[in-house]
Amino acid sequence: MSSFPILDVEAEIKVALDARNAFEDNIVTQKMQDLGMERARMYGWQDTYVFTKAMGEMMIESQREEIPVVIIRPSIIESTYKEPIPGWIEGLRMIDPLLIYYGKGELTAFPADAKGVIDAVPADMVVNAMLAAMAKHGAVRKPGLRVYHIASSVVNPLVHQDLCDYFFDYFNSSPYMDLQRRPIKIQPAKVFNSMDDFHTHIHTEAIQRSPNSPQGIRFSKRVQRSLDLAKHLAKLYEPYSFYEGRFDNTNVQMLIKELSEEEKRHFDFDVGSVDWKDYICNIHIPGVLRHVQKGRGL
C-alpha cells in the first residue's frame, strides 16, 4: 500500500501563496496549474479539483466545534433525470465533450479501463438528496459531522465500455450531419487500456486519414486538429479514466429509507434505480444537444 505525507492545510496554502508571488505574471497560470497537480498527486489525490475540496473539508472539520455539519459529496453531476425536465443541463459536464466529439467522428477511441466505472449521478438527484439531508439534520441540530456520497459506483456502476456502446447506439441511429447535410458515419469506439496503445492508434489513424502524406510529413490542418484534440482529452481525463476508487452510499440509502412514499415520489434520489442505457440514450445525450450544444458551434 502506498503511503503519503501528512497534509498540513495551512502550510499548503502558504506554499501556494509563496509560489504565486514568485512567478512572473505571464507564466503564473500554467506554473500554478503544474504546481497544483504536483502537490495533489504527492498527497494521493488525482488532481487539484478533489485536492482542494478535501482541504476545504479538513478546514471545516477543524473549526466546526459543536456546529452540526453535513457534507454532500456528489460524484460526476450530469443532466437531470426528471426535474425540472428530463435532460436539462447547463454547460458541458464531465462526459459531454467526449460524446460530442465522438458523434462528430473526431474522436474514435479513448484510453480507459474498459471494465472501470465512471461515477455519474443526475443533477436533480443531487438536489433532492441535499434537501432531504437538510430537512433531517436541520431539524435535529445534533452536533456532529455526517457525510453523504451521492454516487453510483457501488450501488449502480456505469461501466466505461457500456458508456461507449451507448454513445455508438445513439449516434448510429441519430447521426450528426456534416456541412453538406450528409450523416456522419461513426464506428464503435475503441477503448485502450494503456496510454501507449492509445497514442499508437491515433497516430496510425492520422496517417491513414492522410494517404498522400508519407509518414513524417505534416498532417492536414483537419487531421492535426483531431490528433491534438484526442491527445488533449486523453491527458485531461487520465486521472479519472483509470481511477479505481469507489464511493459507498450507505448513508444515502439509510436516508432514503426514512422518507415516506410520497416524499420518495417527489424527491427521488435513488441512483440505484437509474437505467443507464435509457438515461444516456434517451435523456442525457438529447438534453446536451438541446440545451447546451445548440448555438455553441461545437
Q: How many domains does the chain have?
A: 2
Residues 42 and 74 grouped into a single domain: no
CA 236 to CA 20: how far, in whole Å?
23
Q: Model confidence over 35-79: pLDDT tens digits?
A: 999 999 999 998 899 999 999 999 999 998 888 899 999 999 999
Question: What domain range is 161 assigned to?
Answer: 64-293
Whether 91 and 57 map to the same domain: the answer is no
> How many Å apart are CA 138 and CA 126, to the nearest integer?
17
Residue 2 domain-assigned?
A: no
- 8 in any annotated domain: no
Catalytic residue among 14, 31, 43, 49: 49
Domain-ending residue, one of 63, 95, 121: 63
Whether residue 162 is found in the same domain as residue 245: yes
pLDDT > 50? residue 158: yes
Q: Are residues 32 and 93 in the same domain?
A: no
List the Cα angle 165/171/176 in 5-degree steps. Answer: 155
> Is 101 one of the annotated active-site residues of the chain?
no
- Are 123 and 51 found together in one domain? no
In a domain, 250, yes or no: yes
Q: Which three cell numbers stand for residue 201?
A: 492508434
pLDDT in tens, 21-39: 998 888 889 999 999 999 9
> Within this chain, do residues 86 and 225 fall inside the same structural domain, yes or no?
yes
Indicate if 43 belongs to the active site: no
* pTM for the predicted model, two decimal places: 0.86
Answer yes or no: is 212 within a domain.
Answer: yes
Segment 266-290 mean pLDDT: 95
Residues 27 and 102 in one domain: no
Task: Name the residue among 76, 53, 47 with its Cα closest to residue 247.
Answer: 76
Span 181-211, pLDDT tens digits? 999 999 999 999 989 999 998 888 888 777 6
Cα separations in angstroms, 281 against 107, 129, 277: 18, 24, 6
Show the cell assigned to 42.
Answer: 504527492
159 domain-assigned: yes
3-state helix, strand, coil in the chain (%, to 5): 50, 10, 40
Phi-psi region of 44 (alpha: psi -120 to 50; beta: other; left: phi over 0): left
Could you tell me which residues are beta bridge partners of residue 80? none
Q: How many CA atoms lie within 13 A of 182 on its CB side?
A: 5
- Tell me whether residue 3 is in a domain: no
pLDDT tens digit sequence for 120-129: 999 999 999 9
Active-site residue identified among 14, 31, 43, 53: 53
Q: Report the distance separating Cα 271 and Cα 109, nearest Å.
A: 28
187 and 102, same domain (yes or no): yes
Among 94, 98, 97, smallest CA distance to 110 is for 98
